[in-house]
Every structure is written in structure tokens, then in C-alpha cells.
Amino acid sequence: MSALDHARLPVADRAAMTGAIKRLVAADRRSFAAVLLLYVAAAGAGAALPVMLGAVIDGIGTGWTAARVDVVCGAIVACVVLQLVLMRTGRRLGYRLGERAAARLRESFIDRVLRLPLGTVERAGTGDLATRTSGDVGAVAELLRKTAPEVAVAMIEGAVIIVAAFVVDVRLGLLFLAGMPMLYVAGRRYLRLASPVFLSERAAMSEIAETATASASGATTVAAYRMQGERRDEGYARAATHMDRLKGIIRLQTWFFPATDLTFLTPAVVVTVVGGLWYLEGWVTVGQVVAVAMLALRLDGPVFRSMMSLSEFQMGGAAMARVEGVHLMPDEVREARPEGAEVRLDDVVFGYGDGPDVLHRLSLHPRRGERLVVVGPSGAGKSTIARLVAGIDRPRSGAVTLGGVPVADIPLEVLRRKVILVTQEHYVFTATLRENLNLALHTDGSQASPRGPEDGDGALLDALAAVDARWVADLPEGLDTMLGEEFHELNLAEAQQLALARVILADPDVVILDEATAGIDPGSAGNVEASLAAALHGRTVIAIAHQLQAAESADRIAVVQDGRIAEEGPHADLLAAGGVYAGLWAAWKGVAA
């Protein structure tokens, strides 16, 4: 098994899926019972039609009056109307029940995903999680609101029809079951073979999403290294694998569907032929044979619907296994409570996965309220320091502490109040600018009331001004302007300024800026950083920088080289020392060292 397979999020087994479905049903048990009763009543009204028609046939033969025939025929019409009303009502309530269940599923899934350690999510891959979040959750929602009710209706109707056949005549009821062994064997074999095939198809979809996402997000790098052909071949290989999985599904269906066609034709033929012979012997009446034969033909509907839905049911079941698999991830035990907000890295050794060490006994002690800038060549380990301080990863040895306790042991709701990491990747939600800023008021997971116009927008506007977000003045509706792809779309620099404004509003003890101003125009990036530093005065700021203009005004600079702290000190002192930092500064300025 590859390292990638180990990193993938788990898939739930049948027992876990059954437990999840039971919880969904239990959460709305009264509605579930009401829908079930409506379906049973509708199936009973439908099954009564051929039984009453058979009674009419026998009644005419035994001398029923026209008035009695009319009464029974009126009852048949009433049953037709009643079945339509009951079925329509049941479907409407069932759809609502499915929608509520799907909503609960989405909410619990998103809640679980948001509580997953970020390192776990990254190792699993964006394609795997994205496919589960969108495609799999959508497939399960479709299963709950449509496919499952369709199968439930078909099974209830089929069961009622079988019972009705035995009510008419036990012997004819036994003939009615002639096609059941074939249906049982075919259905059991299909379910046994289909489950792993559908699971593998969903996994192949994840691989396609992972490859496409990586190629799209790294398009610049792909173009720079002329890797278009390699990435194209990788995408084709993933697509070919998915095609093979789809062919496997089609191969299963090519024998299964014809086999099911025989399950409702066989009983009708057997009942008609054998029942006719029994009528000649005087064992049954013509009406009984007609009634059971018609019931056999009516079995066509539920059997066909359930069999046609079985593929969707399998696909939804495979998606449910992947969605529920996220809930199987063990919760991190994070119970440490920091005393204060002092950050320390002591003799830290760290590496990613099974790879080599990236940091080698690195020690760094940012002072409370200090603006520390970490610089160094690419690959030296600067961003790794940011991840460790933010509690995303754990060191292999040594200690990364906040307030005297390991950062990775602090509960997330506590850690998010104290430490915020801002990277180059920022997400702008499809919401108003005010709502995007108010997200910062919920970094602790509380239900604090967001700011609105009635509360005054001074703090929001001040935060935007502190990061030099002058574009806000040009928005058509100010803070009430809708943001997002379909509305007002922010460019990279504006999105970064929005993220930095959130930091100011969140007011954490420690702020980690990992190239947080990289997308901003270099001419104004210095102003943004100076304004941000003033707004965050008194808080510990750890800035990871590749563009060294951020280092010149820092309280202290830490130079990382080969996973170790090579130099520390103010800008002027490091330049005077003529060491690693002096060489980086000279290279950045474009002058000889």
C-alpha cells in the first residue's frame, strides 16, 4: 500500500453505515412512521383493485345483481383515487423527511470536517476531501430524499401485493412466488459484487479531482518546468482508471437487469397456466386466477423501480460509506490550557510524514509583543516554523509551546483565540463584506453577535483602513456589497487585505504572517505592513518573509538556514556582521555582497 493510500481518509464499513442511518431515522422517527403508514395504506389500496376485480368476475358468474356490481366497481374507483391521494401525500412528506435528513447529514459532516486537524486534511489531499464534501454528500442527499423513498415504496408495495395474493388463495399465492428465488439469488449476488465496484468508482473520482486540483493550482509551476505533458498523461491515466470502474458497473448491470425481467414475468405465466388447470379441476375460481395473475403483473412496477434504483442505491451507499468514514477519524486529545501567550521553540526536530528532518534542533524564543521576522532561502524551513507555532503539526522531538504548554495539545477553540496564522491563501465567502469581516468575531467557535449597521461600523472600517484597503471606498454598497465570483470578485491583493483586516478584528495574542502580503503591490506592501504593525502593537507578530522589506523595520530578525537558526538580531547588526543575512539582503537589493 502506498503512502498516499495511508493518508486517505477512511471508509466506513456496513455496521457504521447502518448506525448512521439509524441515527438519521431516530432523529425524525414520528415523520418516518407517518410516511411508512401512508405508503402501506397506498399499497393496500392498490392491491385491493385486482382482488375486487376478481370478486366481480366471480360475482357475475354466480348471479350478482347490476347494483351490487356497480357498488364494487365504485369501490374500485374509490381505491384508485385513494391510492393516488395517499401516494402523493406520502411522497411529499417523504421528500421533506429526506431533505431534513440530508440537511442534518451535511451539518454533521461539515462540523466534523472543521474539527479535523489541518495536517490530517492536508495529508488526505484536497481531491479526496473535496469529492466527499461535494459529490459524496450530494449523492447521499439524493439517496435520502429520492432513491431511498423510491425503494421503500417499491418494497412496501411488493410486500403488500404478495400478501394480497395469499389472501386470495394460498395455493395461488405459492405459485405467485415462483420468480422469487431467481430475484433473491440475482439481487444477493449483485449487492455482493456491486458494493466494492461502486466504492472503487467513487475513489477513482477522488483521484481525478486530486490530479485536476493539483494541476490547476500549480499551473504556473507546471508551465515554468514544461510539465504540461506529464500532468496531461497523469490526468488521462486517472480518467482511464475511472472508465475501467464504470465498465465494471456496466458489466454487472448487463446480466442483472435481464435476470430481474424474468422475476415478474415468470409468476404471471405460472399462475395463468397452472391456475387455469386448477380451475378445470374445480380447485379455484376464474376470479381468483385473474386476481392473482393481475397481482403478479402489478409486481412489475415495484420490482422494476427497485431494481432500477439499485444502482443509484449502491452509488449512494458507497458515498455514504465515504461520508461516514470522516466521522471515524479519531479526535485529537487537546486538553492543555496555556498560561499567558509566550511562544517558545526548544530543540525542535521536525519532518513531514516519513521524509527526512526539515528542522534540526531549532530553538527560537519570540518575546511577548515583539515583531519577529523569519527569513532565509527557499526550503530552509520558515513556513514549517509557522505551522508548528500555529499547532498544525507536532515536532518529532523538542517542544513548541504557548503559555508553557505544547501548542498542539491546546484545544482548537482556545488556540484560535490566541494564535492566528495568515498565509498567501485566502478565502472570500459569497456574502457581504460585513459578513466576511464578522467571521473574525467567531474564531473561538462562540455565538457572538456579528456587527451590523445598528452597532456602528467604525471597527470594521478602521480594520480595513489599517491594512490600506482603499478599494472599499469604491464598492457600490459599502460594507453591504456582496462578494464572490457571481458578485464583486476581489483580486489577490484585496483578498489578502481582507484577511489581514480579519486578524485585526480577531485581536489574537500571537499573529503569524506567512507571506501574508505577497500578493500586494510591492510599492504599497511596505505601507500595509507598517500599518498592520501599528494596529497589532503589543502583540507577538511572527512574520515569515521572502521579500526582505518586511525585515528592515522588525524588532528582531531570525535567519533560518538548513533547518537551523543561523543568525538573530536587528537589521543593522546583522548587516554589520556580514553573515548570511547580509548576503540575502545584498542579493535582494541587487548589489554585490
Give pLDDT tens digits for 310-350.
667 777 777 888 888 888 877 777 888 988 889 999 999 99
| Contact yes or no for 121/78 (Cβ under 8 A) | no
Angle value at C-alpha 316, between 84 and 28, nearest 5 degrees: 60
What stretch of H or E contains 437?
helix 433-438
3-state secondary structure of 144: helix
3-state secondary structure of 363: strand
| Contact yes or no for 104/378 (Cβ under 8 A) | no
pLDDT in tens, 519-550: 555 555 555 666 666 677 788 999 888 777 77
Residues 6+ apart with CB under 8 A from 485: 430
- The dihedrals phi and psi of 349, each to the nearest 5 degrees, come to -120, 130
In the β-sheet with 397-402, what is the strand arrangement from edge to edge?
357-364, 343-351, 397-402, 405-406
Percentage of the chain modeled with pLDDT above 90 = 13
* Candidate CATH numbers 3.40.47.10, 3.40.50.300, 3.20.20.70, 3.40.980.10; the one for domain 343-589: 3.40.50.300
Cell of 164: 394480497
Confidence (pLDDT) at 589: 76
Transcribe 404-431 into DSSP letters.
Answer: TEEGGGS-HHHHHHHEEEE-S-----SS
Q: Look up cell 467604525; give the residue.
A: 458
Domain boundaries, the chain: 8-327, 343-589
Q: CA 117, CA 334: separation in Å to the nearest integer?
A: 11
Confidence (pLDDT) at 520: 58
Is pLDDT at 502 greater than 60 in this prediction?
Answer: yes
Is pLDDT at 563 greater than 70 in this prediction?
Answer: yes
Is pLDDT at 99 greater than 50 in this prediction?
Answer: yes
| Contact yes or no for 407/590 (Cβ under 8 A) | no
Burial class (CB within 10 angstroms; exposed 0-12, middle 13-18, buried 19+) of 7: middle
Report the candidate in 270, 49, 313 with the shortest Cα–Cα distance to residue 155: 313
Q: Which amino acid type is present at position 494?
A: E
Confidence (pLDDT) at 57: 86
| Contact yes or no for 500/432 (Cβ under 8 A) | no
Look up the CATH architecture of domain 8-327. Up-down Bundle (1.20)
Burial 52-76 (b: 16+ CB within 10 A, else e): bbbbbbbbeeeebeeeeeeeeeebb
Is pLDDT at 576 greater than 50 in this prediction?
Answer: yes
| Contact yes or no for 298/42 (Cβ under 8 A) | no
Q: CA 84, CA 475: separation in Å to the nearest integer?
A: 54
| Contact yes or no for 76/50 (Cβ under 8 A) | no
- 0.85 exceeded by pTM: no
pLDDT in tens, 398-436: 999 999 999 989 988 888 889 988 887 778 888 999 999
Confidence of residue 9 (pLDDT cuts 50, 70, 90): confident
Matching fold, domains 8-327 and 343-589? no
Transcribe 251-263 into DSSP letters.
Answer: HHHHHHHHHHHHH
